[in-house]
């Protein structure tokens, strides 16, 4: 997919989440949903945990700011320390979201909408515990759906929209 996708976005590619879901028929292999805006945009990359600047990706931007709105890509938090642990992966994902928000000049209170993808619905309570440990009040609107993830060992992927 990236081989066909990347040439269309030579600079500051859109944010995105890539998940594995059922499609309307066997003739379909990929479905892409996008939001377009003609206003100027600014791309951000997620900084590393040690504070070093993030590196741009050829396939997606961690976040895109358009006016007073920030669109965050689907971020994963899987690593060697949290393999198989949905709550820990959720907390790490949200740590990455927090660093991205800060880099773009936004805060947790600016979040207005979220989409959570989890690989196993029996892990919903664990994901929700991790989510609520970071977002404890004034929750953004949120949908949680079951989907396969393309990240190795990833159990949860979260996208947000923030607005000031």
Please tell me the pTM assigned to this model. 0.92
At 54-95, the pLDDT tens digits run 998 889 999 999 999 999 999 999 999 999 999 999 999 999
CA distance to 21, 38, 69, 75, 145, per residue, from 138 (Å) = 30, 31, 18, 21, 21
- Strand partners for 64: 43, 71
Average pLDDT over residues 5-15: 88
Question: Which pLDDT does position 81 carry in this prediction?
Answer: 96
Q: Alpha carbon of 15 to those of 50, 53, 136, 141, 163: distances in Å?
A: 23, 18, 26, 19, 16
Higher pLDDT, 18 or 44: 44
Cβ–Cβ < 8 Å for 121, 146? yes
Please, what are the domains in the chain? 2-23+40-163 (3.30.1330.40)
Tell me the average pLDDT across 97-102: 98
- 110 pLDDT exceeds 90? yes
């Amino acid at each position: 997919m990236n081989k066909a996708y990347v040439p269309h976005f030579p600079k500051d590619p859109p944010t995105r989440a890539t998940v594995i879901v059922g499609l309307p028929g066997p003739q379909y292999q990929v479905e892409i949903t996008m939001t377009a805006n003609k206003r100027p945009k600014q791309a951000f990359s997620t900084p590393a945990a040690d504070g070093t600047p993030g590196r741009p990706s050829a396939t997606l931007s961690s976040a895109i700011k358009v006016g007073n709105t920030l669109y965050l890509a689907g971020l994963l938090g899987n690593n060697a320390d949290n393999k198989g642990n949905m709550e820990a992966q959720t907390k790490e994902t949200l740590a990455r979201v927090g660093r991205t928000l800060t880099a773009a000049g936004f805060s947790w209170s600016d979040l207005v909408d979220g989409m959570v993808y989890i690989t196993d619905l029996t892990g919903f309570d664990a994901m929700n515990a991790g989510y609520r440990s970071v977002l404890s009040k004034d929750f953004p609107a949120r949908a949680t759906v079951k989907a396969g993830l393309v990240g190795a060992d990833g159990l949860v992927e979260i996208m947000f929209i923030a607005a000031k």
